[in-house]
Amino acid sequence: MPRRSSDLQRSVQYLKGVGPRRAEKLARLGVRTALDLLLHVPHRYEDATTVARIATLRPGDDATIIGRVVSKGVIPTRKRLRIFHAVLQDDSGLIECAWHGQPWLDNSIRKGDLILAAGTVGFYHGRQMRPREHTLLASAGDDDGGSGRVFPVYRATEGLSHRQIRAIVEANLDGLLDEVAEAEIFGRDWLRGLGLMRLPEALEKLHRPESLSQIAPATRRLAYEEIFFLQLLHARARYQYRSREAGQALDAHPELTLQMIDSLPYELTGAQKRVWAEIRADLEKPARMYRLLQGDVGCGKTVVAAAAMVRAVDCGRQAVLMAPTELLAEQHLRTLTGLLAPTDLEPALLTGSVTGARRAEVLEGARSGTAPIIVGTHALIQEGVTFENPGLVVIDEQHRFGVEQRRALRDAGGTADTLVMSATPIPRSLALAVYGDLDLSVIDEMPPGRRPVITGVRGPGDRPAAFDFLRAQLGAGRQAYVVYPLIDESDSVEAAAATRAIEDLSALFPEYQLDLLHGRMGTADKDSVMRRFLAGETQVLVATTVIEVGIDVPNATVMLIEHAERFGLAQLHQLRGRVGRGAEQSYCVAFYSGEGPPERLRSFAATTDGFEIAREDLRLRGQGNLFGAEQHGLPELRFADLERDSELLEHARDRARRMVEADPELRSPENRVFARVLQERYADHAALYAVG
């Protein structure tokens, strides 16, 4: 182990220029230790390596300059617009800068300050720049500037400016880099094979770059480190799950399984066959399976899961499927009943609504093994529910269960294999980051002949025509969803409210039955509304995104989304997936509120491929919004970009898995450093993974 690695964990309070008061302010930025300060890298840079000399500027130029403030003041205008003026000087000349409508700058910019300013040069009684951005590089009297440098700008907090943070970093950087050199955790050959620099070099280039081109490769080194430890957490969780109890090979003759697959009225797609082969191979191994099956809405995941469940029954074991709501559980029951009819297997249902003699019968069937396939909700993991000999546990829409619920069902399954299903397509890179402890199977092909939902993006003036189209669909006996981003009206958000909208729509469509569904309603009320819609008693369902993941209503052919610019791309795609579940052509209309559609709405209309949508959503919104950290217990990725660093992610997963398989407790001399870093930096996450 490195001799002085623990020094990096000392309080930032004891570093040069900090002290107790500044330490409290740094803590607001997440900077509590010496290592935290090193990792508090600049969030942007001001490039002064190509600054223009003031004397060379001409009207029309767009330029960046650095100069000292030689005079300043606020000038009022006839239109009561107050303009802050400052004259900047470098060694070649002077130029006036004007900040219209920003008189408060007179309080923060002083004579003698060194300013970097970027903007367009105009002519108003002489040359004048209107800076679109500026940065205070040094106060009056400080010698901290000049051309030929890249200035780091740090995320700051009240009472601690980015310049003060830069001064603290600069005062401590050399000494901390010496400590980091001794605390490097990856060997030279390891890093060289990936084309990565060592950590001290990367941190120095991030805090003291000589050019902007040095920042990306330095960031890549830090990205790999956090990706690797994320994958190490995943690998240990995977090992703990698989080693907790030995699994059983489900390798008996697949009589019922073949009977079910051969009786299907269609042939499985190539993607379904590939994924089924992956799952079947896992089932037949003595090691416990823990696999994620993901695919777009309508790709045929349930058929593959059904084959896996029947495979367990073929081997004399039970299969259990848990869904997040009673309606989804009932939908699965109907689907499985149809799929399994040729095998004479009858799935049983266990939800909170199953009571009395029927509940007692299902519980006895689960306990004795006479019920080979059980479908249910979280009622499956309540006290008093036991299984005789489960071979497979299937968890549907697993992101809607907490880690404790998922763990409880896994534990109730004993030595059973686990198959997790998700209908929310996510890019492979994000799947490896979020679900790295699972093996991944993806159905990326839709069944032939399936009609894509016709999607349109419309502005405010197109609403009457859209409502005429909706009336025609309702007149043909179809049903529709109208989705709003809010439940009640809000002064701060200019979006229509579902509660007000149902009144307006009821007046517009008096001959049809409308119903309201939103997240504040109780479970029983939600179920009642959805049952009426499923039964066709309600023609239009006015809802919030509570229907984003919901049951299939084959007769629903229209999805209208109001204020669509307020939804994420993946969310819009999930809403669109609520229609197109039957034989009739379906339609989705996304209304935007502004003058033109934003980029993500154009992307939404351009493709119905859920994985392409997910990749674009990741690009537009950033991975931080997509993680669902509370559900997964994931550490934040500050440096990694999952799409950009997908190659590093694959390498980190394979290396971490090999390391844990060879040394599960990380006790070997070469692995102790990784165990220490997990304990120092990721103890809370490791604890979550241990139970999750």
255/538 Cα distance (integer angstroms): 44
- Summarised one tens digit per residue, pLDDT across range 157-166 is 999 988 899 9
In the prediction, which pLDDT does 690 show? 54
522: buried, middle or exposed (CB in 10 Å: 19+, 13-18, 0-12)?
exposed
Q: Select the highest-mean-pLDDT range: 180-189, 323-332, 660-669.
A: 660-669
36 vs 519, higher pLDDT: 36
Contact by Cβ (8 Å): 283, 245 = no
Query: For 245-292, how does the pLDDT look when each residue is reduced to its tens digit (9 = 90+)?
Result: 677 899 999 999 999 999 999 999 999 999 999 999 999 999 889 899
pLDDT in tens, 357-372: 999 999 999 999 999 9
Q: What is the pLDDT of residues 586-595, one digit of tens each?
A: 999 999 987 8
Q: How many CA atoms lie within 13 A of 489 on its CB side?
A: 4
Residue count (the chain) = 692
121-151 residue pLDDT tens:
999 888 999 998 888 888 877 765 555 578 8
The yes or no reply on domain 50-147 and CATH 3.30.420.40 is no
SS3 of residue 649 by DSSP: helix
The CA dihedral of 303, 304, 306, 310, to the nearest 10 degrees, is: 140
With bands split at pLDDT 50, 70 and 90, how would you rate the model's confidence at 672? very high
pLDDT tens for 218-239 read 999 999 999 999 999 999 988 8
Q: What is the mean pLDDT of residues 415-440?
A: 85
Separation of alpha carbons 425 and 443, rounded Å: 10
CA distances from 477 to 133, 212, 640 (A): 58, 62, 50
Torsions phi, psi of 220, nearest 5?
A: -60, -35
What is residue 622's predicted lDDT score, i.e. its pLDDT? Answer: 65
| pLDDT > 80? residue 683 | no
Distance (Å, rounded) from C-alpha 430 to C-alpha 623? 8
pLDDT computed for residue 334 by the predictor: 92
pLDDT tens-digit profile of 452-480? 999 999 998 899 999 999 999 999 999 99
* pLDDT tens, position by position, 601-613: 999 999 988 888 8
Mean pLDDT across 193-212 = 95
Could you count the other beta carbons within 10 Å of the beta carbon of residue 654? 12
Give the pLDDT mean for 371-383: 92
Q: What is the pLDDT of residue 620?
A: 76
CATH number of 255-443: 3.40.50.300
| Residue percentage of the chain with pLDDT more than 90 | 59
Q: Where, residue-wise, is CATH 3.40.50.300 in the chain? A: 255-443, 454-607
Q: What is the CATH number of domain 454-607?
A: 3.40.50.300
Q: Please enumerate, as own/partner, the contacts of 458-465 that have beta carbons within 8 Å and a separation of 24 or more.
A: 458/589, 458/590, 458/591, 458/592, 459/591, 459/592, 459/595, 459/596, 459/597, 460/591, 460/592, 460/593, 462/591, 463/591
Q: Between 7 and 307, where is the model more confident?
A: 307
The answer to whether the CB of 143 falls within 8 A of the CB of 91 is no
Q: Is 425 helix (H, G, I), strand (E, B) or coil?
A: coil
What pLDDT score was predicted for residue 459?
92
The rounded distance, in Å, linking the Cα atoms of 410 and 389 is 13
Rg (CA), the chain: 31
Residue 630, CA atoms < 13 Å, CB-side half-sphere:
4
pLDDT of residue 634: 62
Question: CA–CA separation, 444 vs 270, rounded Å?
Answer: 9
Which pLDDT does position 186 carry in this prediction? 94
Position 5 scores a pLDDT of: 44
Segment among 198-212, 335-349, 621-635 with least mean pLDDT: 621-635
Q: pTM for this one?
A: 0.77
Measured in whole angstroms, the distance separating CA 246 from the mean position of its chain's CA atoms is 33
Pairing of strands 82-90, 62-76: antiparallel
So what's the pLDDT on residue 303?
96
Q: Does 1 score more than 50 pLDDT? A: no
pLDDT-derived band at 626 (thresholds 50, 70, 90) equals: very low
User: Of 446, 440, 430, which is closest to residue 607 (Cα–Cα)?
Assistant: 446
- pLDDT greater than 50 at residue 4: no
What is the spatial order of strands in the sheet that 556-561 belongs to?
454-458, 587-591, 556-561, 479-483, 540-543, 514-517
Mean pLDDT of 321-348: 93
- pLDDT-derived band at 432 (thresholds 50, 70, 90) equals confident
What mean pLDDT do residues 498-522 have? 88
- All CATH 2.40.50.140 domain ranges in the chain, comma separated: 50-147
Highest mean pLDDT among 368-372, 435-439, 520-524, 638-642: 368-372
Banded pLDDT at 581 (limits 50, 70, 90): confident
SS3 state at 207: helix
pLDDT value of position 493? 53
Question: Using 50, 70 and 90 to split pLDDT, how confident is the model at 410?
Answer: low
- Output the CA–CA distances (angstroms, integers) from residue 455 to 172, 330, 465, 485, in the order listed: 57, 30, 15, 19
Q: What pairs with residue 90 in β-bridges?
A: 93
Instruction: Please tell me the distance from the alpha carbon of residue 77 to that of residue 82, in angstroms, as a whole number.
Output: 6
3-state secondary structure 328-371: HHHHHHHHHHHHHHHHCCCCEEECCCCCHHHHHHHHHHHHHCCC
